[in-house]
Amino acid sequence: MNLRKIKNALIRITSTIVVVLITIPLLWIIFDVFIKGISVIGLEFLISLPAPIGEGGGIANAILGTLIINAMACAIGLPLGIATGIYLSEYSNDSTFSTFIRTIIYTLSGVPSIILGLFAFALIVIRIGHYTAIAAAFALSIIVIPIVAKATEEGMRAVSIEIREGAFALGLPKWIVVTKIILGVAKSSIITSSLLAFARISGETAPLLFTALFSYYWPRGINEPMASLQVLIYNYAMSGFEAWVIRAWGASLLLLLLVLFINILVRRISTR
């Protein structure tokens, strides 16, 4: 056996070991959440409200709350993110101003989410005088915007000059070329990033603690405190009541399945 073969084998073996080592904890987490969470999941759990302190009950209001808050965050974040991406790709002419905007937007994606929560707290919660889901949606939308803006810009920039010229040569005005051709070609990367942004904010907890906080009742309006899976997990897991701790695991499993489902969806879209 020569040296080259030994080196080759060595690298193959070490990299395989590393992959196995990092996969174990990941699978362990999924497995653990599954084992601990699956026992409470049932129809009752999914469709009823929490029971009084320390007793059983369901998490329906938190499921609904997370969906409402995410939907609102996307309703704000997706159009703004897509519009920003369109501007940066098609209308910025790579000016100093656009470089400035791009830097700002992409720095936003590095800001710890707890700071976004604090910001929404100071800007909205303190002014209004009570916790509100609107502030939560606002904080989460700031997470959505850079993710979607970046994917939109990159997806649109990747559209070749040949395709663009083919569209202009048909006598189409620029706005139609941009919205129907270039955006159309970039559509799947925009959808993919929107789904990933949705998954990402489904896991954010810190911003919600400062904004929507929690509620043991059905959502009564968007300008009210609102339950969410994330904060429910946080509250229940820390409560010390066995019935609640196990419900925190059940809620964790639901969140995990949601994120898993979205990621599988994304893979299917992007490999199509």
Question: Which positions touch another protein (CB under 8 A)?
Answer: 160, 162-163, 165-173, 176, 180-181, 184-185, 187
Q: How many residues does the chain have?
A: 272
Other C-beta atoms lying within 10 Å of the C-beta of residue 107? 10
Q: Among residues 181 and 248, whose Cβ is nearest to another protein?
A: 181
Q: Which backbone phi and psi does 243 adopt, to 5 degrees? A: -60, -35
Nearest-angstrom CA–CA distance, 151 and 34: 32
d(CA 60, CA 121): 26
Give the CA dihedral 238, 240, 245, 247, nearest 10 degrees.
-90
CB of 62 or CB of 167, closer to another protein: 167
Residue 67 burial class via C-beta count within 10 angstroms: exposed 0-12, middle 13-18, buried 19 and up: middle
- Among positive and negative, which fits the CA dihedral 204, 66, 213, 38? negative
**Whole-number minimum distance, CB 177 to another protein, in Å?**
9
Smallest distance from another protein to CB 105, Å:
24
> In this complex, which beta carbon is closest to another protein, that of residue 80 or of residue 185?
185
Q: How far is the CB of 163 from another protein (least distance, A)?
A: 6
Least separation in angstroms between residue 169's CB and another protein is: 4
94 vs 242 by CB, closer to another protein? 94
- Of 187 and 220, the one with the shorter C-beta distance to another protein is 187
d(CA 113, CA 9): 43
User: At closest approach, how far in Å is the CB of 184 from another protein?
Assistant: 5
Structure tokens that stand for 120 in this block: 């929404």
